[in-house]
Structure 1
Amino acid sequence: MKKSITRPLLLTAALAGSFSLYSLTSKPTVAPDADNAGLKLPAGFGALVVAETGGRARHLAVTPEGNIFVKLNRPKDGKGILELKPTATGKATVSGGFGSYGGTGIYAKDGYLYASSDEDVYRYKLDAKGEVTNPAQPEKIITGLLNRGEHESKSIVLDNAGNVYVNVGAYSNSCQVKDREKGSMGRPDCPILDSAGGIWQFRADKANQTYGSGTRYATGLRNVVGLDWNAQNNQLFVMQHGRDQLHDIFPAMYDTKESAEQPAECLYEITKGANAGWPFLYYNGLTHQKILAPEYGGDGKKLADPKYLEPAAAYPAHMAPDGLLFYTGTMFPAKYRNGAFIAFHGSWNRAPEPQKGYYVVFQPFKNGKPSGQWEVFADNFAGSDAKAAAGRADHKPCGLAQGPDGSLYVSDDKAGTIYRIVYNQK
């Protein structure tokens, strides 16, 4: 790093977002691990293991100062949020933790760190060093969100107008009278949608908000774990987890292969009032059609009502998209700028077909819209093709975050590894 560049200048640049540390240096100073942390990456990229947390690492946030905060699904030693301090090598050390609750969501913006349990959302003040000032006394900004033990994670993201968006997943596979039971039909009008199966919008600075003080921003979304705000078109995008068990519930209509390959995991471009159609439809990624759900009179071929939202892009079935990030850095080549990275946690229900996922993919965008075919970007989290096919992955990618230098951070929900991917400019 050039010694003439002062810390105040770097910090101002990072906060402004106008350019990155890497635009001021000739090449990255972070060296990847000799084996690229076990990952398979495109030419020119490298990876390193930043830290081993030993917990189920869900989403993560990186401050402009390079501090890393990791949300654990379950508290470890009484701490649900781990704080990692960067070192000169590009790795990090676990320096402490706070928050006695488990959960998924964590997000840093405008001097605050936001984090969620499965029922509530909190915020913590960050100081000039990017450190939390009130670890024992956070503000509870949202309280009493529905948690019935299925699709319970409350992923969060903020826009640029002081709003926070929260996923409230549906506590059901397909809104049957008897959930996941063979032949059970759908509940009329699906009353679950009154309090779940959508995205709720709240103020980021108001204490103790409940359903009544929030806005049901979008509905018809079975479960969203990965979501992000697209700065190019100032709009929310979400990755839905598609429904399961078409063959198990309706074996006369679907064989096991069809059930393994349907429905697609869908990326949706969300505006206020959007309805993606769950549970009344699913999306066939092979024919690119919205299909009427069998629980609501479908036969595998009947089309759904066209009034429901069309996916912005679609991906193979049952791969569990748990992280979404729009890349705005300048470290990676220009093709990645403003495109989307998606972390696929991996499938469990494609048998007898091979399981799929356990990788991070890249979806190109142009002018704020998906443009072109998606591609696998970071692979081999599973450890081998055989482990992936059997669903016995060593690591399962979950959260994504962008560092102040443009590095891509990836969390692992299986072993708790935190990865950092860099581009080796020459």
Structure 2
Amino acid sequence: MKYLLSATALIGLLAAPAVSQSNLEKLGAFKVTGTKDHTYIDQKAPEADSIREVLKGISLPAGFKIELYALVPDARHMAMAPQGTVLFVGTKKSKVWAVMDRNRDRVADEVKDFAPSLEFDIPNGVAFTKDGFLYIAERNRLMLYPAAEFFHESPDVVAVPIVPQGELIPVEEESYNHTARVIKVGPDDKLYVSLGQPFNVAPEEKAELYKETGIGGIIRMDRDGSNREVYTYGVRNSVGHDFHPETGELWWTDNQVDGMGDDIPPGELNRQTEKGQHFGHPWFGGGTVRTNEYAGQEVPVDVVHPAVETIAHAADLGMTFYTGKMFPAKYKNAIFSAQHGSWNRTEPAGARVMVTFIDDEGNATMEPFAEGWIDENGEYDGRPVDVAQMKDGSLLVSDDFANAIYRISYSE
């Protein structure tokens, strides 16, 4: 049986009991689970027309246009398969979506859940290796799906726990806050996974545990989960990172401390040049602004301050370096990043796509690229989360408020 659901109708389905975790053992033994059906999202649902109306008001540089690519419930971080046949989209709920453009018209015509025989727990982070292995980072697990680009057609897939359930972080540290992991494959062919710490400002009694486990940092490991180490320290909650195509340096966004006012502290785009660097949390709330909780303390570490300070509370999330050929030459190796939008600022800020240009010395300058998702009443019409590149050089932007993915293209 084939189910066709609108994004709105899916809310009730997501609240239903999850599939038994024992299915993972069956899949590991190459056995069927008995799961027969996928859930399909109706791409002609009425909300598609409403989203297209909103997109008419989005401003972009000359020559660029933005269009609706797909209706995808709770769309968060994205990973395009190496052959370009399917886009995998994570969520902060219990689904991972497989998005396909079968007729190659640059608009998705099929969106279905990936691996419905498995239970997912906040599968926000998705990433592909160059040779076609899909990794999905959940709240407290890291999974590998070999050949997912082709096996996704079946409800049952090959699934391998790289970091088993309960071992990404200590179980007692599991939280409902700052749990959206991001994963990328580095130029060293290792996995880099962000582990946001759950507090507004991390308390002193957690310092040693977090330093040891990498909570409040970015960890690195081999593709089989071995040789785990903490690569980055002093992170509050990073939900976006990528590697410079030429230098291999790790750049990442960070969401900064709340409750200090509308205009401080700034958000961050950071540049990391070597393993073990410390970026200031919890002594700094964002940029060079000290946190109230640690204001009187001497900072015991050497701190690397951000490459770019962004507007306070705009919630800088997913990012990618542009390596395509569709856009003008000035955008080569620039960073495109999503500002999700503020949740507690008196005047809302963010809800846009930014572009950051980096000069030969590594100096970075950020400016708006696509904006207009905050209307004249100060209400959100969309909240961008992540940016991913298609093989033709166009960009995809996910939006977990509008339950959509947009495509930005360029022509002279």
In the other structure, the counterpart of 1:228 is: 242
4+ long deviations beyond 6 Å: none
Kindly report which structure 2 residues correspond to 1:188-199, keeping only aligned pairs within 5 A, or say none. Answer: 189=207, 191-195=209-213, 196-199=215-218
Alpha-carbon distance, 1:393 to partner: 1.2
In the other structure, the counterpart of 2:135 is: 114
In the other structure, the counterpart of 1:406 is: 393
Kindly report which structure 2 residues correspond to 1:202-241, keeping only aligned pairs within 5 A, or say none. Answer: 202-204=221-223, 206=224, 213-241=227-255
Alpha-carbon distance, 1:224 to partner: 0.5
Q: Hey, what's the Cα distance between the residues in 1 that align with 2:63 and 2:82?
A: 25
Per the alignment, do residues 172 and 161 of structure 1 end up closer, same or farther by CA in structure 2, a change over 3 Å counting?
same
Query: CA contact under 8 A between 1:37 and 1:419: conserved in structure 2?
Result: no
Residue 294 (1) aligns with residue 292 (2): yes
Query: CA contact under 8 A between 2:81 and 2:128: conserved in structure 1?
Result: yes
- What TM-score, normalized by structure 1, do the two folds share? 0.75
Query: CA contact under 8 A between 1:64 and 1:403: conserved in structure 2?
Result: no
Alpha-carbon distance, 1:87 to partner: 3.0
In the other structure, the counterpart of 1:161 is: 188
Q: Deviations over 1:216-264 (max 9, x none)?
A: 1111101100111111211111101111112xxxxxxxxxxxx111111
Aligned letter for 2:129?
K
Q: Hey, what's the Cα distance between the residues in 1 that align with 2:55 and 2:201?
A: 41
Aligned mate of 2:96, from 57, 80, 90: 80
Alpha-carbon distance, 1:86 to partner: 4.3
Q: Deviations over 1:164-213 (max 9, x none)?
A: 0001111111124xxxxxxxxx5585654433100110111x15x5xxx4
Query: CA contact under 8 A between 1:83 and 1:95: conserved in structure 2?
Result: yes
Residue 50 (1) aligns with residue 53 (2): no
Aligned letter for 2:267?
E
Q: Hey, what's the Cα distance between the residues in 2 that align with 1:320 and 1:413?
A: 14
Query: CA contact under 8 A between 1:170 and 1:193: conserved in structure 2?
Result: no
Q: Secondary structure at the match of 1:335?
A: helix
Q: Deviations over 1:74-106 (max 9, x none)?
A: 23xxx4333323433210122532243132111
Q: Secondary structure at the match of 2:191?
A: strand
Aligned mate of 1:331, from 323, 326, 332: 326
Which ranges in structure 2 are unaligned for 5 or more consecutive residues?
1-51
Q: Secondary structure at the match of 1:343?
A: strand
Q: Deviations over 1:319-362 (max 9, x none)?
A: 111111110111001111101111000001222xx010000011
Which ranges in structure 1 are unaligned for 5 or more consecutive residues?
1-32, 177-185, 247-258, 285-289
Query: CA contact under 8 A between 1:230 and 1:368: conserved in structure 2?
Result: no
Q: Deviations over 1:302-327 (max 9, x none)?
A: 99568211211111111111111110
Query: CA contact under 8 A between 2:236 and 2:254: conserved in structure 1?
Result: yes
Query: CA contact under 8 A between 1:107 and 1:114: conserved in structure 2?
Result: yes
Per the alignment, do residues 279 and 405 of structure 1 end up closer, same or farther by CA in structure 2, a change over 3 Å counting?
same
Aligned letter for 1:94?
E
Identity of aligned residues (%): 29
Residue 263 (1) aligns with residue 265 (2): yes
Q: Secondary structure at the match of 1:261?
A: coil
Query: CA contact under 8 A between 2:54 and 2:373: conserved in structure 1?
Result: no
Q: Deviations over 1:100-127 (max 9, x none)?
A: 3132111122211221211112122237
Query: CA contact under 8 A between 1:342 and 1:361: conserved in structure 2?
Result: yes
Per the alignment, do residues 35 and 216 of structure 1 end up closer, same or farther by CA in structure 2, a change over 3 Å counting?
closer
Alpha-carbon distance, 1:366 to partner: 2.1
In the other structure, the counterpart of 2:12 is: none
What CA RMSD, in Å, does the superposition of the two structures yield over aligned residues? 2.4
Query: CA contact under 8 A between 1:169 and 1:223: conserved in structure 2?
Result: yes
Residue 377 (1) aligns with residue 369 (2): yes
- What TM-score, normalized by structure 2, do the two folds share? 0.78
Q: Hey, what's the Cα distance between the residues in 2 that align with 1:34 and 1:344?
A: 21
In the other structure, the counterpart of 1:124 is: 145
Aligned letter for 2:75?
A
Aligned length: 346
Q: Secondary structure at the match of 2:240?
A: strand
Per the alignment, do residues 131 and 331 of structure 1 end up closer, same or farther by CA in structure 2, a change over 3 Å counting?
farther
Q: Hey, what's the Cα distance between the residues in 2 that align with 1:65 and 1:201?
A: 26
Aligned letter for 1:325?
T
Residue 386 (1) aligns with residue 377 (2): yes
Per the alignment, do residues 106 and 366 of structure 1 end up closer, same or farther by CA in structure 2, a change over 3 Å counting?
same
Aligned letter for 1:221?
V
